[in-house]
Each structure stands twice: as C-alpha cells, then as structure tokens.
Amino acid sequence: MSAMRRVDMQLLTVVLLLSAIGALAIYSCMRNAGDATSRLTMQLAYIIVGLAIMTGIMALDTGKIRGLTWPIYIIVLVLLAIALMMGSVRETHRWIPIGPVNIQPAELAKIAVIIMLGAVVSKLEHEEHDFIFLIKTLFYVGAPALLILLQPDLGTPIVLFFIWLVMMYALGANSVHLGAFVLAGLLLFAGAWGFGLVRPHQKARLTAFMHPDDTSQAASYHLRQSLIAVGSGHLWGQGLFHGVQSQADFIPDQETDFIFTVIAEELGFVGAASIIVLYALMLYRGLCISASAPTVFDRVVAAGIVGMLLIEVYVNIGMTIGLAPVKGMALPFLSYGGSNLLAHMMAVGILQSIYMRRDQIVF
C-alpha cells in the first residue's frame, strides 16, 4: 500500500470541516461590511493553497523535513527582520506586503521553531536532559522570540515558550526544571511590567481581564461585546446570517480574532460545543501520532504541534468568554487570514507525514 494512502482520515476530516465552517462564518459576519464575497474568495483561495502545501509536505519523509531545518529557520529569521523594517499597521511591524496579500512571519516562526527544536533534541538525544541541556534548546526559541517582541508582539513569544515546554516534556525533561523556567519567565514578565517594557495597550488588556466589569476601560469593550454575543446564542443560536451582534458589527475583528463569537451567536451552544469537540479530536489525534512516532524527531515535533494548537485554541476561545486576556491571536483553521491558515496546514501536513510512516523500521 502506498504511503500516500495511509492518511489519518479523522485528522483530515476535522481540518476540512473547520476550514469550511470558518469560511461560512467569515462570509456571515462580513455580509453587511460590503466585502463578504471578496473575503470569502480570498479565504477559499488560502484553503486551496494550504491543502496543496499540506499534500506536498505529506509526500515528504520527515527525514527530508529535518534536513531542511536550518534553511527554514534562517529564512524565517530574515523575514522577521524584514517585517521590522516595513511600515507599521496599527502601530506594529508584523506584516510584509506582497502584492494583494500580507505575510505574517511570526506565524511561520512557530513551525520553524518546532522543526528546529526537533532536530536539535534528536541530535542531542543521548545527552542528559538536565538544566544545561534545556538552556541550550531554549536559545533556538530566543532568537525569533526577540525579533517578534520588537514588533511588538507579546503573545507569540509566549506561544513559542509554551511550545518549548511541551516539546521538552515530551522528550522526558525533569518537570522541576521546567517549572523553574516557568517561574523565571513570570519573574521576567513582572520585571518588564515594573520597568515599563510592557506596552500600555498590553497592560490595558491584562488589566481589563482582571477587572472585566470596569466599564471605564476601553480595553474591556471587546470582552463585553463578545460575552453578549456568546450569551445571546442560547442553545441553538439565532440562525446563520442572523446574529445581532455579528451582523451589526459590534465586535471588532470578528472575522479574525473573534470568529468564535460569530459561531456561538448564530449556531448557539450546540455549534460552539461542536467546534470545541472538533478541536479536541484534532488534539487527540496529534497526541496519538506523537505516541506512535518512530523517531525522537517525529515524537517531539508532533508534540510541539499539539502544544501550539492547544494554546492557540485555549487563548482564542478563552478570551471570548473571559477565561483569557484579549489577544490578537487567530483561531486555527477558522479565522480569516493566509499566514495563519497556511502555517497550520503545514503543521497538519507534518503530522500526516509522521502518521503515514509510523511503522517504518528505524536503524
């Protein structure tokens, strides 16, 4: 049987369902904005290109992917540096304009870091996984994280750090050592807050999360409107294309960061719960692929992808219902945008490549 016929159909089905639901939700919330058709067309184009890229990666043996680690890592670092030299959008330097589309290198950095860490730990797998070993691996996270912090973007470096934690845990690192790094990270953040290195809008979002009922804070507007939309969905929702909050454009960035509120309002608790079940199935399949992976590289890379998906899903859905601070983070496969969607299609392509070669003999 050809390797290409040994696809994880459950994982592929979840990806297709989420992508289709996302495209429908984007069209719904943009109908009254005047560019619903163009947004839908672009999203469908992103999905088609993403599926093509995913299929191409599935055809690659993970050994070949590992061989491309350094070129991918360096290219992403260069793109991150170029983004800093581009004109600002919303007072940030996160995008590189190429014709009608904008590339967000930070999304690609997640995949580059996962592959790089996988290559590094597999090369050093016979070393003791002590504190020094963890510091060595953390350097590969630090370079892209620093460039992303300069954009400024605080959330993505946190995602990269979480990915590192999950991958090191999957490798078998000491939990006490990992806990020490978490504590050090919290202390660094507290110091950055105290010395004014955290931007005012970032402080406002965290303060609004701690005090959501303080209507004097402009930063809590997103959360209030989101909670209204989610709550008004009730059990079955107000009906597709009939959400009051989403159709009246009360929620900022609802086609990107707050796409979950559109689904919750128009499809209700049943629709929102179905989305969470689909994500749970995706994470479960990722864990199964990691557990059955034939090499150290495959195991930790699959775990890193699961960690990336887990924190993104939690933060995005959590911020819509008050369980996480508001953060400009897309919901995988649902939110509008090319960079995020293509990066996650790449991630699923890697998972599928690992799954299809899970029974290979490794010497």
How would residue 145 be classed by pLDDT, with cut points 50, 70 and 90?
very high
pTM beyond 0.75: the answer is yes
Q: How far apart are CA 245 and CA 249, in angstroms?
A: 6
Structure tokens at 176: 């006490």
Q: How far apart are CA 111 and CA 92, in angstroms?
A: 22
Does residue 232 sit within a domain?
A: yes
The predicted structure's pLDDT at residue 5: 63
Q: Name residues whose C-beta falls within 8 Å of residue 332's C-beta, 6 or more positions apart in sequence.
A: 18, 279, 309, 312, 313, 340, 344
Cis peptide upstream of residue 152 (ω within 30 degrees of 0):
yes
Does residue 231 sit within a domain?
A: yes
Does residue 56 sit within a domain?
A: yes
- The phi-psi region of residue 253 (left if phi > 0; otherwise alpha if psi is between -120 and 50; otherwise beta) is left
Does residue 361 sit within a domain?
A: no
Do residues 227 and 239 lie in contact, with contact meaning Cβ atoms separated by under 8 Å?
no
Q: Which residues span the domain enclosing 132?
A: 3-356
Does residue 362 sit within a domain?
A: no
Q: How far apart are CA 278 and CA 270, in angstroms?
A: 12
Does residue 171 sit within a domain?
A: yes
Among the residue ranges 219-233, 268-282, 336-350, the one predicted with the least confidence is: 219-233
Average pLDDT over residues 185-193: 87
Higher pLDDT: 196 or 95? It is 95
Does residue 25 sit within a domain?
A: yes
- Given a cut of 80, is residue 266 above it in pLDDT? yes
How would you label 321-358 residue by residue, b for 16+ Cβ within 10 Å and e otherwise?
A: bbebbbbbbbbbbbbbbbbbbbbbbbbbbbbbbbbbbe
- Given a cut of 50, is residue 1 above it in pLDDT? no
Count up the domains in the chain and report the number. 1
Dump pLDDT digits (tens) for 113-136: 999 999 999 887 777 778 889 999
The predicted structure's pLDDT at residue 215: 58
Higher pLDDT: 250 or 338? It is 338
Q: How far apart are CA 319 and CA 209, in angstroms?
A: 9
Dump pLDDT digits (tens) for 272-323: 999 999 999 999 999 999 999 989 999 999 999 999 999 999 999 999 988 8
- Given a cut of 60, is residue 223 above it in pLDDT? yes
